Chain A
Amino acid sequence: MLVATAATVLVVGGLVLGVVSSPGWPTVQETFLDPFHARESFPAILDGFWLNVTMFLIAEPLILALGLGLALARQSRSPLLVPLRAIAVAWTDVFRGIPTLVLVFLLVFGMPSLGLQGVPTSIFFWATVALVVSYSAYVAEVFRSGIESVHPSQLASADALGLSRGQAMRFVVVPQAVRRVVPPLLNDFVSLQKDTALVASVSLFDALFSARDYANFNFNYTPYVVVAVFFVVLTVPLARLTDALGRRYAERERAGAR
């Protein structure tokens, strides 16, 4: 315990000392860590951050539903669903390959210029769609690996009880698969939370764009640090929540936890 504390103090102290004693430190402190500019930029960034949070909250359930749908389409064995399976494969291949930022540009600028009746032109709408499309491809693969990790004997057991394939998926395979993929799913969602900041590049007033606006006007980069803190504060509780969920399942279902 004592050794651990001493070692931590020594390492952290050394690192801080190294940074603080660097020749550029006073300049860095002035341009990145100015309390005045932090306070001044805070309200605008907070306003913008709600846009990130809103976008995340809208996109997340859509991504989960679409990702699971894509994974199930790839698992289907019915000959009637072959076209659906092909679309699911193509979807994952194409949208996982396109950088998310490029997808944001393509949809935000491309879709409204089609000039179709009834197609929304809102930047927020198409930026959210871009995130949903891009992340659903990742999440579909996560779900698929979860589904494939469930032992075939579970399906045999469901078959033997007379369950249809759809019922076996719904009541036996998917519930087990979802429990297993919660940690990698969380990883994707932390990543999604951060990628909502990509919409700053299409001039939506999110947290990052607000910070950039302030920084460019006042020649001070402190708002970027404020934005970073916002995102960290958002992700940490999500990580703890998932840990807690995982522990609860483990305690209830695994003999080893007894």
Chain B
Amino acid sequence: MTGGTAGPLLEVQALRKTYGARLVLDDVDLSVGAGDVVCLIGSSGSGKSTLLRCVNLLEDIDDGRILLEGREISDPLVDQREVRSRMGTVFQAYNLFPHLTVLDNCTLAPRRVHGVARREAETRARALLEEFGLAEHAGQHPDRLSGGQQQRAALVRALCTEPSLLLLDEITAALDPELVGEVLAIVRRLAEQGTTMVLATHEMSFAREVATTVCFLHEGRILEQGPPEQILTAPREERTRQFLRRVLPG
């Protein structure tokens, strides 16, 4: 699966997160090696999105540690911007910037955070937009695009900074069913190219196809994790079986 020489790319240790009195994540351990595709599954409110938001430091954690490339990033003294600039995040609701063109959406972070020259940033963004079938939309504003196109643009925006880790938070959940395929095709291609990804998803067949590891979350805990064929076909836990019976047809 991984080279294994430099240790895991991302490591979550005994992570605990509460909102007031409510425990959202409890004693979560997760290890993601370079090139891994980790799928987080579980019902709504199980903590999948919160886990992703903790990893890219959008949420403060209550306990535990998060390490990126061996360095603790959950330390309050760490430069959060620098950490985030090494990760790409795509949200369920795209969150593109409506006042900027697709191209400007994609070049904002490379130019302002990574100090890439405008021409260079645009060349790279155009190449990625081309690759993902959005070349003719580069000059348009996001609201002129379909949901699937917007989500693909959001993926390109996240990729433009050449992140070492990609976090995808239920990126197909807000899409019409016929648009889901075009977005998943891109994620599939990224997986084949060896992009390291952690994704929360409701698409079980997709998880089975691309994941190297599937984690089943229940009430803020990772109840079980393992290769997709094991978790999705022969789960150990009764909760997992119940969940799969609800979401898998037949």
- Interface contact A161-B144, CB-CB below 8 Å: no
Task: Give the contacts of B25-39 with A (CB-CB under 8 A).
Answer: none
- Interface contact A161-B161, CB-CB below 8 Å: yes
- Interface contact A163-B109, CB-CB below 8 Å: yes
Whether A162 touches B81, Cβ cut-off 8 Å, given contacts A153-B91, A255-B143, A255-B144, is yes
Chain B residues whose CB sits within 8 angstroms of the CB of A164 once the complex forms:
81
Question: What's the minimum C-beta distance from B179 to chain A, rounded to whole angstroms?
Answer: 15
A254 to B143: give the CA distance in the assembly, Å: 5
Interface 0/1 of B126-162, CB less than 8 Å to A: 0000000000000001011000000000000110010
When the two chains form the complex, which single residue of B84, B97, B143 contacts A159, counting CB atoms closer than 8 Å?
Answer: B84
- Interface contact B58-A156, CB-CB below 8 Å: yes
Describe A's contact surface by its main secondary structure. Answer: helix
Question: What's the minimum C-beta distance from A182 to chain B, rounded to whole angstroms?
Answer: 13
Interface 0/1 of A239-258, CB less than 8 Å to B: 00000000000001111001
- Interface contact B95-A157, CB-CB below 8 Å: yes
- Interface contact A154-B95, CB-CB below 8 Å: yes
Interface 0/1 of B49-67, CB less than 8 Å to A: 0000000101000000000
Chain A residues whose CB sits within 8 angstroms of the CB of B93 once the complex forms:
153
Chain A residues whose CB sits within 8 angstroms of the CB of B84 once the complex forms:
159-162
- Interface contact B91-A162, CB-CB below 8 Å: no
A interface residues, how many (CB within 8 angstroms): 21
A252 to B81: give the CA distance in the assembly, Å: 32
Chain B residues whose CB sits within 8 angstroms of the CB of A162 once the complex forms:
81-82, 84-85, 109, 113-114, 161
**B53: nearest chain-A partner, CB-CB:** A156
Question: What's the minimum C-beta distance from A166 to chain B, rounded to whole angstroms?
Answer: 10
Interface 0/1 of A12-52, CB less than 8 Å to B: 00000000000000000000000000000000000000000
When the two chains form the complex, which single residue of B56, B91, B98 contacts A176, counting CB atoms closer than 8 Å?
Answer: B98
Chain A residues whose CB sits within 8 angstroms of the CB of B97 once the complex forms:
154, 157, 171-172, 176
When the two chains form the complex, which single residue of B82, B108, B143 contacts A161, counting CB atoms closer than 8 Å?
Answer: B108
A-B contact pairs, 15 of them (CB 8 A): A156-B58, A160-B56, A160-B84, A161-B85, A162-B81, A162-B161, A163-B108, A163-B112, A167-B112, A172-B108, A175-B99, A252-B141, A253-B141, A253-B143, A255-B144
User: With A252-B141, A253-B99 given, can you name 8 additional A-B contacts, CB distance below 8 Å?
Assistant: A154-B95, A154-B97, A156-B58, A157-B97, A161-B113, A161-B157, A162-B114, A176-B97
Binding site for A on B (CB under 8 A): 56, 58, 81-82, 84-85, 87-89, 91, 93, 95-99, 108-109, 112-114, 141, 143-144, 157-158, 161
